[in-house]
C-alpha cells in the first residue's frame, strides 16, 4: 500500500482524565499517528485548555473540535476532519499497549490486494473463559458468545476476542477499530440511532454489518488495549437495557433478511436477555428490558 498516514478519532464527553490518559497512550505508540482528532461534546472546555498546554510533538498534531452531538455523529465528524488513509476510532476510556497502532497497520500493509477494510485488536481486560452452561444457553437463545465473529440470525454477533491468531471477523468493536479511508465514501455511522432511543448503543454492530457485506474485516491479537469502561457520562442500567432492546430491534429490522427463521431467532434473543436478567436478580435491568419490549410494540415508527 502507499505511504500510511494514520488518523485517530476520539469522541469524548465529560471524561477529561480518561481522555488525557488515552491520548498519552497514543503518543507513546511505537508507530505514531499523523494526527489525533478530539471530538468533544462536553459542556465545559477544560479538555481544550489541557490540550493547549501540551508540548507539541514533532510527528503528531492534535486537533480539538467542539461538536455537541451523539457518538455516531461525532465519528462522522472525525472522518470529515481527518486526512489519513487509515482512520482509528478509540473510546475515550481505553489505554493502548505501545504496539497497538503498529500491529493493526501491519495487517493493512500485508494486505496486497487491498481487500481488508477494517481491523481491530484484542481487549485484554474482558473474560474469555465462558462456562459451558453459559455458552450453551447463549447458543440456544441466539445471543453472543466467544465464537467466529459472525452475525447470528438474531442480528447479534459472536466474538473472536479469544483467538490467538489473526483471523477474519464480521464485527469490529467500537472501542478500538480502524478502517481504510476509502470505505467512508460508501458508508457512514448511523446518526438515527440516538434520535430513536436516546443512545447510540450497538452502532459498531450496525456499521460492521454493512461494511462486512462487501469487504473483509480482521482481528489481530497482537494489538492490545484495555477498555476501562468509565462510569462517567453513562446512563443508569434500566435505561441502558431499554435502549439496548430498542436499538437491537432497529438494527435487526434495518439489516437482517426477514426470513421466518431470523424472526424466530430475534424473538428468542429478546427472551434470552430477559431470562438472563431475571436469573441474575437484576430488577432494574429486567424493568429496562420490559420497557424496551413495550417501546418496540407501541412506539417504533
**What is the model's pLDDT at position 299?**
65
Question: 142-151 pLDDT, tens per residue?
Answer: 999 999 999 9
**What is the model's pLDDT at position 47?**
81
**What is the model's pLDDT at position 128?**
79
**What is the model's pLDDT at position 235?**
62
Q: What is the pTM of this model?
A: 0.91
Planar angle of CA 173, 119, 134, nearest 5 degrees: 40
Question: 21-40 pLDDT, tens per residue?
Answer: 999 999 999 999 999 999 99
276: alpha, beta or left, given left = phi > 0 and alpha = psi -120 to 50? alpha
**What is the model's pLDDT at position 276?**
93
| Partners of 61 in beta bridges | 35
User: Which cell is 131 given?
Assistant: 462456562
Ranges of residues in the chain with a pLDDT under 70 are 1-2, 52-57, 195-199, 233-235, 299-301
For 200, residues 6+ apart whose C-beta sits below 8 A from its C-beta are 70, 71, 72, 193, 194
**What is the model's pLDDT at position 230?**
75
DSSP reduced 3-state for 43: coil
Share of the chain above pLDDT 90, in %: 70
Amino acid at each position: 500500500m502507499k505511504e500510511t498516514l494514520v488518523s485517530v478519532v476520539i469522541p469524548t464527553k465529560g471524561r477529561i482524565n480518561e481522555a488525557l490518559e488515552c491520548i498519552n497512550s497514543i503518543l507513546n505508540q511505537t508507530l505514531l499517528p499523523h494526527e489525533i482528532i478530539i471530538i468533544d461534546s462536553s459542556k465545559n472546555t477544560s479538555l481544550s485548555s489541557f490540550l493547549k498546554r501540551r508540548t507539541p510533538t514533532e510527528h503528531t498534531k492534535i486537533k480539538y473540535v467542539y461538536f455537541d452531538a451523539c457518538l455516531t455523529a461525532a465519528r462522522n465528524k472525525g472522518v470529515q476532519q481527518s486526512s489519513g488513509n487509515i482512520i482509528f476510532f478509540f473510546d475515550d476510556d481505553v489505554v493502548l499497549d505501545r504496539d497497538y497502532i503498529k500491529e493493526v497497520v501491519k495487517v493493512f500493509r500485508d494486505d496486497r490486494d487491498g481487500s481488508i477494510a477494517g481491523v481491530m485488536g484484542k481487549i485484554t481486560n474482558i473474560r474469555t473463559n465462558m462456562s459451558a452452561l453459559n455458552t450453551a444457553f447463549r447458543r440456544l437463545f441466539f445471543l453472543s458468545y466467544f465464537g467466529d465473529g459472525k452475525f447470528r440470525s438474531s442480528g447479534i454477533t459472536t466474538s473472536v476476542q479469544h483467538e490467538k491468531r489473526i483471523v477474519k471477523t464480521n464485527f469490529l468493536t467500537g472501542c478500538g477499530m480502524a478502517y481504510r479511508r476509502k470505505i467512508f465514501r460508501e458508508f457512514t455511522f448511523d446518526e438515527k440511532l440516538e434520535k430513536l432511543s436516546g443512545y447510540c448503543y450497538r452502532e459498531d454492530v450496525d456499521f460492521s454489518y454493512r461494511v462486512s457485506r462487501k469487504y473483509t474485516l480482521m482481528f489481530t491479537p497482537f494489538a492490545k488495549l484495555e477498555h476501562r469502561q468509565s462510569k462517567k457520562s453513562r446512563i443508569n442500567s434500566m435505561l441502558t437495557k431499554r435502549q439496548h432492546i430498542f436499538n437491537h430491534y432497529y438494527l435487526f429490522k434495518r439489516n437482517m433478511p426477514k426470513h421466518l427463521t431470523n424472526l424466530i431467532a430475534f424473538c428468542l434473543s429478546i427472551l434470552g436477555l430477559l431470562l438472563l436478567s431475571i436469573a441474575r436478580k437484576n430488577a432494574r435491568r429486567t424493568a429496562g428490558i420490559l420497557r424496551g419490549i413495550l417501546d418496540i410494540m407501541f412506539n417504533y415508527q
